[in-house]
Structure formats: structure tokens, C-alpha cells
Chains A and B, each alone.
Chain A
Amino acid sequence: MTAPGGRPADGLPPGGLPAGSLPSGEDTIVALATPPGRGALALLRLSGPRALDVLRALTGRVSFAPRMATHTRLVHPVTRAPLDDALVTWFPAPRSFTGEDVAELSVHGGVAVSTAVLGACLAAGARPAEPGEFTRRALLGGKLDLLQAEAIADLIDARSQALHRAALEQLDGGLSRRIAALRQECLALEALLAYDIDFPEEDDGPVSPLRIEGAVDALLASLDALLATAPAVPMLRDGAIVVLAGAPNAGKSSLLNALSGEARALVTDVPGTTRDAIEVLLDTPGVPVRLVDTAGLRETTDAVERLGIEVSARWLARAHAVLACGETAAAVHEAAHVVRGMLPAARADVPVLGVLTKQDDARGAGADGTLLRTSAERGTGLAELLSAVQQELGARYGVVEPEVPRLTRERHQAAVRASREELAAFREAWAGGAGVPALIAAVHVRAAVAALDEVIGSVSLEDVLDRLFGEFCVGK
């Protein structure tokens, strides 16, 4: 049943939404819309009936032109202490992101300013938004459908161009189209089974079990391929963790800084999340790279320190690749050896790239055997290193093509997995025609379709008939 739409929309059970999942409609919420601590500017967003009051309290102004940015000074509503010079924009309901009154405050970047302004908004009567609450309000305000809402959440979250593209692709229906195509395949299978029952006396005769089996297997393979896109998602979303390892003064910090200049570095030292390392997010083509340097930190084990190699065991356990750095081939090999010894068994196949640092002489960049020659000072070998990293990541984790629809969210993965399980259950029960009669086992096929519908669309039984009449000459 699929039911024709015979199930509630995702997360919205029949008979009412779960208590507590909805905003009361009275609260005005505020949150930092940009990631904390990043960039030159930070954006705070207010939504709810008191958004204008809050704006007035912080600016001392009475009115704002709708949807026009105004440059103004922000002060604390109680202490009147000046906070920042900001651009504020007023979006009266319903023409706003959430459909409610919305204000956006663009303030200077950095934790201190945005925290102070956030505090001022709370003092003026707003409350902190729960995670996803803006999007949820937009959904309830009729501004978004669920897939769009998710895509927007991903856009907001997107720390990298790659995820940004994946999110855009979903917004554009790329995933919907892929799932719709798989659903069509499921329906074609259902049509094969239905044909056998509904038209027992036709010219074409019964459908051969081999044909049904072929259809099931092809579908299982397609679903597996789509499921296989899921593991790359965290890497796309958060970046591939590439850890620098090497002796003190092996040039790791310089390399990190140089690479940050080569590629656009998005993140530096996010407080509270990565206290044990210096971390930059390199927005490279392909998979974004989170370059991690644990130089000079005391997290290394005694044993490693004795070996004179700096690397954090904690980060190695999560690494997607490791750069073993050293000024000489011997130093690089030593670093690589230590790293391999420390990698947990489950990650024994993590690529370890040997990198020669401080190759500042005229020989310039290039490979030296299996080692990459780099010079942070001259800026040579950096592009080659980045591309080698991409290659290794591709070889190890599969080529990540950002435009391919992928299962970016757990909900999609669960639905596709459920669909796959139902088809596998069909295959097992039907057992090539020797088990449960096909049309009874077809309950699983319908459930497989319904699972895909959870993501995109309601089943129309008419679709099955369309498949059927296109393929068979029926007419007794």
C-alpha cells in the first residue's frame, strides 16, 4: 500500500503530531545561523512574534524597512553596553524563511561578539532555538516540504563545497529522481508477479522464474549501490581526517600552514571541539580534507615520545589518511613505521603517504621514489600533495563524485535499507518458485515500494498496471 498514501508523512503520525515536537507558536527563538568561531561575519537569526521587539530593544530604532539591510549599532537592552556595529534585516511574516516574523543580525565574527549579541537577544525576550527549530517552523509554516527542509539543513551544515553540492543536488531532486527510478524498478517486479496472477491465460504464458529472479537481483544490486554512497557522507560532510605525523621539527606545522594557504582553509582551531590538535579544513576539490597536526601536544604516548615521533593515538584511530613527514627518506620511513604500528587493526589499511618536507633547494617539487617532495617555504609540491591525498582517499574509500545522488541522511538510509531487506525477504520466501507462492511473497515487494515511498512518494497501484500493459499482450 501501499497503500495509496497509506502511511503518515515522515515523522508526522496520524491523528496529531507528537507533543513537544512543535513550537508553541508564541516563543520567539534565536540562534547563531553560522558555525561558531568561523569567518569574518556571524549571522544571528530571530523568528517569532516578538522578533521586532527584540530588534527594537537592541537597536533603539522603531521601524525597519522590510527586507532591507540597515547598518546600526547594537547595544545590550538592559545595560545599554555597546556590543557591535551590525547589519540587521527585517523580514515581516509571511515572506520570510519560516513564515513568521524574522530578523537577521549580521555581526562581526568570533565567539565573543556573537555570544554577547546572542545574550542580548535572550535578555530582550527571545529563547535559544532548539536544533533544527527554524527549519521545523519553516516546514509548519508551509514554506518547505520535508526533503527540501532536509536539504536546507544540509546546506546550512555544509562545511564543504562537496556537501554543498550534494545538498543542492537533493534540493534539486537528484536523490528523489534516483529513488523514483528504483521505485519504478520495484513496481516492474511487482508487475511481473501480478501479471502471472491477473492474466493466467495469455499469449505470453507464465513469467519465467529466471526473469523474476533477474529483476530481484538487479534491484538488490541497485539498492546496494545507493546504500554504498552512505559511508562517504560523513567524510563529505565533515572532511576526511588527514593526520600529520613526524619527528619534532619535521616541518609539520609549516606544512599545515602552507597547505592552508594553498587551499582555502575554512576552520581554525574550533574551541571546545578539538582541544588536542590544531586542525584546518581544506576546501579542496573532491573530498574536503581536515588536516590535523598534533605537534607539541602532550597527548602522545610515552612509547611514541621515546621514538621521537609526534602523533596523537586518539586522532589516528579516526584518521582517513596519514601524512608521514620528515626531512630525509629515513625520517619519513621511521615516521611511517611508527604510525603503522599504532594504527588499530580495523584501520590497518588507512593510506600512509610519505612526505619529504623542507625540500627548499632548487630541485623543487616532485616525487622522490614513493615520497612526495614539498617545500613550505617555496610553496612547491603542495598542489601535488593535495592531489595525491585525493587519489589515495579515492582508492581507499571509493571515488567521491559530489554530483551523484547519495543518501545524506539517516532517514534515507533507513528507508533504502528497509526496502532492501524486504526484497531480500521476498527472494528468500519465494525461493525461485519453490517456496511461498509469488503473489503472497509479493507482500514484501509492496513493502519495499512503501519503504522507498517513505522518502519520496506514495504508491499508485495504477503504476503497476501501466508497467503491465506496456510489456505484455493481454487480451483473453
Chain B
Amino acid sequence: MTSSFSAASLEASFDVLVVGAGHAGTEAAVAAARAGATVGLVTSALETIGQMSCNPAIGGVAKGTVVREVDALGGLMGRATDLAMLQFRMLNQGKGPAVWAPRAQCDRGLYRRAVRTLLEEHAAIHTIQGTVARLLFDGERVAGLETLEGRRFGARAVVLTTGTFGRGKLHIGTDTQIAGGRAGEAASTHLGQQLDAAGLTTLRFKTGTPPRIDGRSVRYDGLVVQPSEVEEHDWSWSYFWDAPRRDGERTRHPAQLPCFITYLEADGKALIERHIGESAMYGGAIASQGPRYCPSVEDKVVKFPHAERHQLFLEPEGHDTTELYVNGLSTSLPAPVQLAVLRSVPGLEEVRVTRAGYAIEYDYYPPTQLDATLQSRAIAGLWFAGQVNGTTGYEEAAGQGVVAGLNAARWVHEREPIILGRETSYIGVLVDDLVTRGVDEPYRLFTSRSEFRLTVRQDNALARLAPIGESLSLYDARERACIDAREAAVREARALAERENITPAQADPLLAGTGTAPLPHAVRIAEVAKRQGVSLGALFTAAGVGRQLAEDVVISAELELKYASYLDKERRAAERLRAMGGLRLPADFEYAALRTLSMEARQKLTARRPETMAQAASIPGVTPSDLQNLVIELERRRRAAAELAG
């Protein structure tokens, strides 16, 4: 790589430059700023900072927990959602608070504006409009970037969060292909060519998005109305942190709007079957892998031909428009077919399409090329976060942004990297999966990906991550005081339950509804709270104690009480993982020479170079026998070393 660096021509210099201002980029910028870095945030259009490219929803199962984790580390996503959501649902509500998953629909415009406002509250962040033409290098090391407009900026670290813009190509049917990073926005090609030349591996993924329709053309009578469930719910701990945005006891949320449910019926399915060859995906125009969990409607029809019908959710795009997002109908069929399919749907007989659905193919950089902080192993000072790493989802992007931003700042300041463990957070699971396992389809988080889904919950994100944020000095004094107050409240709730008794007269009316036995005499509240179907909050109320405690505080305390034995079981597993995972594999380990390993394991271990046994264990193709032989080899070396020493 030729040196392209000349300090004299720079317009400005930063500790960290972030390329892209989507959900990864904005979080990376804020995290780096909180960690004490000066930040330049470069995007091709400042108006699109915080743009939601696809579904206008934030959160959901596992993802909602990530939003809370990002928030606990001082990120934007939870706060912006509080300021922009027009519908809220707590998913899995019937399955107990341990698996509750918050999910919000947002007003796209409000969300963008909220992100930009929150971003600009950080004095250390400078926003820059420009499309990156190339990175600048000082020797082997990244030193800044130059935009197509000819502006040059210096930085010691660069975080790339270019989403689907890397040589993005939109497909509608088999004949229509448009270069672009999002509908209506240009793709970025120059940077990709430079990274290719630098020897980085680039692969292609595809994803899709459904058509948007004019809400005024929908016949709503007969559709199932899905009202907002919990208008008062707060996403962000800013309930404590940002008093100015509060309205009395609560964050000021925008007015709530309903969603509507309708169905793709047999005639719509038949239409899709008939035109399947004209779909970009099935007609051969796209070969790259798409996400299984977010299938196109073509996929649904082909793979589940016997399904009677498929649900469609009509979701409002915002307060300032009647446009609706047709969730469940992601498609790359030709526009006329899309229209015909839509009009086969009850309620959409006379629908007008505002934007056609499309599939998009884009570059991603296999994340096994990154270290555990998301820094490129090949190019010092270069970080990757978000969809460029082969993930999908705003929340996954945001989580990576935080990790990349924090670590870029710490690297610049020559501090120890910060790695979130699988047992501390879904962000930890996400990053660990990416850099050790890699991806073979666009990656999304599920609770199934975590070994610690009971310990790692949305209600305790602050408790899990605030100590880390504290050690990194991410918070100001007011934030610290609020965190301490929240933790003290949870402790108080537990202590109260352990200390106070509840009488049969107080408890039995509650217990009658749960099918459990009445109390023989006054019993400690904690004991009664262990019963299934009995909520700690209701017990406190019945016993007339703990009125000062917030609901979410009581829920956190309750979960720890009620599922103590399960949490213990999971924590013991975590201990074992730590113990085994703690075995470090030397960086110069010659796997190829270790003939007790399978050929596949030798190749994969040589390619991935895991740092620990835990990472080695998570690489597909590395068998238990391989792991066992690795343990034996490590033991052999340890003994040999001990013999030499003694």
C-alpha cells in the first residue's frame, strides 16, 4: 500500500473517523466520543443520519435486549426510539417477564431527527457530508480519508459502517437492476475497490424489502387492528438520565398509532407461484445468500406450499404521512406482479403502491478477518461495524458500532481493548459469533444464540453493563448518580422481600387465582414470590410495602428471586465456559503439524487462529475430539515448559 498521507493538505484531524451514519456509525461515533476521542462522522447525506432503511421497527426478541445494552453503555438507539415510537408491544408478555421482549414501531422522520439531535449533543463529534473516495495511509497504517469532493481528513483510526452501500445493486424482477445503496441513494464503489486491492476478502449477501403503499387506498374495515400496548414504556434509562425530556413521571412519547393485520391468501400465493420465474431471486438474477429468518414472500410460497395463508402487517411509516410498510411481503418480483399480488390481499383491493419492493445485493467483509474488537487483522487502525460485517438489523449494527467505537478510541489512546463476554451481553454473543464463527447468511440475533439467555435479559442490562461503562468512564456525574440509584432500588426491593412478611389475609386473595395453596401463617414475601404466577409487585401492594419502587425495578428483583436455581445452573455453565475458554491458544500454534487433529480442524484453526479454547470450540468443523487433543497438546506444552523451568 502506497503512502498517501500529507498532513498539510488535511482539512481537519480526529482521533477517530466514522464512515457512514446509520445505526452502526452513529453509535460508533457516540461511543468513541464518550470514551474521550474526537470524532469525525462522514456520510453521503446528512439528512439520512439515522435512516431506517427497511422495517420501521426497533427491538424484538434478543434485539430489544441489545437496545437496552447499547443504552446502558450510553448509546443513542433507546433514547431515539423513546422519542420516535408510534407503537409499542411487549412481545412474549404471556410467557413471563424473564422472556419479555420490547419492540417499537417508529416514525422514520422523528427517528432520524432524534438521532441527529442526540448525536449533536456530543461536542466532540463533527458531522461531515461527503462520499468517501479512498482511505489515506501513513505507511501500513490508516491515517484518514478523502471524499469524492476532494476534502481530506486525518484520523488515527477509521471505523467503516457503510451498510449495504458497498457496490449495492437493487433488483426488481429479473430485468431491472439499479446500482444503489438504498432505494433512491447512490452506491459506493471506490472504497470497495481500494479494500479489494488491499487484499481483504469481499463476499456478497442479499436482502430484500417489501413494497410501501398509500394508506389512503386501504380499506380498513375488516382488518384486524393491532393497537399500541404500552404507551408509557420507556426504552432508555434516560428515564433517569434525561430529565428535560420527561413529562411528569414519564418520557414524552409521540402519539401512538395502530398497525393492521391482513393475509396473503390462496389467490395471492397462486399469483406468486405463476410468476416465480420473474423474481430476481428465483429467476437467477441473484445468486447470493439471503437471510432465512427474513424470507421473501417468494421463499415462503415455495418452501411452505401447504401453508393456508401468510400474515401481513401494515405498519405506519410516520405521523407525517399515510404511507404504510407491508411487513411480510419482502419481494423482488416485477413491479406489476407486486401490484397484482397486493391487490389480491383483503383490504388492499384498490391499493396504490408508493414504492416497489426490491432485493439488494451488497458487499460484506467476512468478519473472521477481524479481531475481537472488530479491528481488521490485515489493516491496522481500520474497524468494521454493522451490515458490512454480514449482519442484518438495526440493533445488531448498533451493538457493533458501540464495540468498534469504544475500541477504536481506546486503541488510539493506547489503552487495553474492551471485550464484552458472551455471558455479559447479547452484544458479546454477537461479536464473538462474528469473529470466530463467521457468517454464512446475514446474521441476526436470537435468544437461541446465547448460552445465557436467562442471565442476559432486557430488564437487567444496566446492572450487567454499567460496571463496565463505569470502568471506561463513559458516564457523567449525573448519569452515574442515576445508575447508582437504580441499582440501590433493586437491592432495596430484594431486601424488602427478604425482610417483610405477608399475612394470609393479605396474600390469599392473590394466591386464589394461581391455584397454589393459601398461606398457613404469615410468611416472608420472598418465599411467596417464588411461586409460579405470583408477582412480587402484587405481593408488595397487598402487603402495603415498597410503594416507592418502580415497576421494572420490582420485576428485576422478582426474576432473580423466582428463578434463582435456574440462574445458578446457567451461571455454573458460564463458569465452566470461562474456565475452559480461559485456556489460551498460543498465537504461533502450529495446527498444521498437529496430526491428531482432523484435516478440516487443522485448516480451520490455521485460518481463524482462535485466541482461546472457547473460540476454537465455536468454530464449525472443529470436533470434540479435536478440542480434546488440543487440550492434551496444551497440557503437554505446559508440562514441557514446567520441566524446562524447574
B639: A residues at CB distance < 8 A? 22, 25
B residues within 8 A CB of A476?
311, 313, 327-328
Q: Contact partner of B583 among A14, A435, A475, CB < 8 A?
A: A14
The answer to whether B453 and A12 touch across the interface, beta carbons within 8 angstroms, is no
Distance of A476 Cα from B437 Cα, bound (Å): 26
CB of B515 to closest CB in A, whole Å: 8
Q: Which of A17, A145, A475 contacts B635 (CB 8 A)?
A: A17
Return the CB mask of A176-207 against B: 1 if under 8 Å, else 0: 00000000000000110010111111110000
Is A465 an interface residue when CB atoms closer than 8 A count as contact?
yes
Query: What is the distance, in angstroms, from A219's C-beta to the closest C-beta of chain B?
Result: 18
Shortest Cβ distance from B303 into A: residue:
A473
User: Would you call B624 and A457 a contact (CB within 8 A)?
Assistant: yes
List, in ascending order, chain B residues with CB within 8 A of A438's CB. Answer: 95
Mark interface residues in B439-479 (1 if CB within 8 Å of A CB, else 0): 00000001111110110000000000000000000000000
* A472 closest partner in B (C-beta): B304
List residues of B (599-621) whose CB comes within 8 Å of A's CBs: 613-614, 616-618, 620
- State in angstroms the CA–CA spacing of A424 and B171 once bound together: 51
Q: In the complex, how many angstroms separate the beta carbon of B619 from the nearest chain A beta carbon? A: 9
Report the interface size class on chain A.
35 or more
A197 close to B92 (CB less than 8 A): yes
Chain A, residue nearest B570 (CB)? A443
Give the distance in Å from the alpha carbon of A139 to the alpha carbon of B629 in the complex: 8
- B interface size (C-beta, 8 A): 71
Asked whether A265 is an interface residue with its Cβ less than 8 Å from the other chain, the reply is no
Which residues of B sit under 8 angstroms from A5, Cβ to Cβ?
580, 613-614, 616-618, 622, 624, 627
Inter-chain contact A9/B624, CB cutoff 8 Å: yes
Chain A window 435-463, contacts with chain B (Cβ cutoff 8 Å), 1 for yes, 0 for no: 11111110100110010010011101110
User: Does chain B have a CB within 8 A of A280?
Assistant: no
> Using Cβ atoms and an 8 Å threshold, which residues of chain A touch B453?
439
A474 proximal to B (CB < 8 A): yes
* A to B contact number (C-beta, < 8 Å): 190
User: Is there an interface contact between A12 and B628, defined as CB atoms closer than 8 Å?
Assistant: yes
- Inter-chain contact A6/B573, CB cutoff 8 Å: yes
Which residue of the partner chain, among A139, A142, A147, A464, contacts B448 with CB atoms under 8 Å? A464
Q: Is the Cβ of A439 less than 8 Å from the Cβ of B62?
A: no
Is B596 interfacial (CB 8 A cutoff)?
yes
Expressed in whole angstroms, the Cα–Cα distance for A27 and B73 within the complex equals: 57
Kindly identify, within residues 297 to 326 of chain B, every residue whose CB is under 8 Å from any CB belonging to chain A: 297, 299-300, 303-304, 307, 309-311, 313
Q: Are A437 and B96 in contact (CB under 8 A)?
A: yes
Given A197-B92, A439-B453, A443-B570, are A475 and B624 neighbors across the interface (CB < 8 Å)? no
A7 x B580 contact (CB < 8 A): yes
- Mark interface residues in B71-112 (1 if CB within 8 Å of A CB, else 0): 000000000000000000001100110110100000000000
Give the distance in Å from the alpha carbon of A139 to the alpha carbon of B532 in the complex.
49
A4 at the B interface (CB under 8 A):
yes
Interface hits, B563-586 → A, CB 8 Å? 563, 566, 569-570, 573, 576-577, 579-583
Does A140 make an interface contact (CB < 8 A)? Answer: yes
Residue in contact with A200 in the complex, picked from B61, B327, B583, B638, CB distance below 8 Å: B61
Distance (whole angstroms) from the CB of A184 to the closest CB of chain B: 15
CA A434 – CA B454 in complex, angstroms? 19
- 7 closest A-B pairs by CB: A5-B617, A142-B596, A9-B628, A6-B577, A145-B625, A4-B618, A1-B451
Q: List 13 interface pairs A-B (beta carbons < 8 Å), by A numbering.
A: A2-B577, A3-B576, A5-B580, A139-B632, A142-B595, A142-B596, A145-B596, A197-B92, A198-B446, A434-B532, A458-B627, A461-B448, A461-B449
Given A198-B447, A443-B569: 16 more A-B contacts, CB < 8 Å: A1-B577, A4-B451, A5-B627, A6-B451, A6-B577, A6-B581, A9-B624, A14-B613, A17-B635, A142-B594, A145-B625, A194-B447, A197-B92, A198-B61, A203-B311, A435-B532
